[in-house]
Amino acid sequence: MLTRAVLAFVLVCVTAAAWAQETTVVALGLTDHKVTEEELQGGADLATPKFNTPGVAYAYVAHAMKGDVIEVHLTKDGESLMNNAQELDADEDGALVLAGKTGVPAGGWPAGQYTAKVKIVRGGETIAEQETDPIPFE
């Protein structure tokens, strides 16, 4: 009987520890290319988009769970220009989601303040939301 009680206690503790890893936004930003997990994990210095380069918003999320929806937006002056939402079909130690344009719009990016924005939804409720400081694409 004591062995069962100890086993049950250990299982509860292990399960609680697994749930204790909080889903967090590890990296969020704007760059001029499709960023990779390796670049983010290696601490690469990512170029800021210019008016005549591609513009890509990225979010790298740690400890995301099956069913989470990670939504990334490239915004201009507070309005979403492009977005990408990914629903996870398994738990992920790290999930990278990108939104943006890998080409240059005709005539370049219009003047304005651009941001990357991420929202993580679990079970219909927003559990995390974050946005970068606005930058111009000079």
C-alpha 73/C-alpha 121 separation (Å) is 14
Q: What is the pTM of this model?
A: 0.84
pLDDT digits (tens, 9 = 90+) for 79-124: 999 999 999 999 999 999 999 999 999 999 999 999 999 999 999 9
- Domains in the chain with CATH codes: 23-136 (2.60.40)
Helices (H) and strands (E) in the chain — how many of each?
2, 8
Q: What confidence score (pLDDT) does residue 84 get?
A: 98
With beta carbons less than 8 A apart as the criterion, state whether 69 and 121 touch: yes
Best CA proximity match to 118, nearest among 87, 74, 88, 78: 74
Task: Summarize pLDDT for 68-77 with one digit per residue, the tens.
Answer: 999 999 999 9
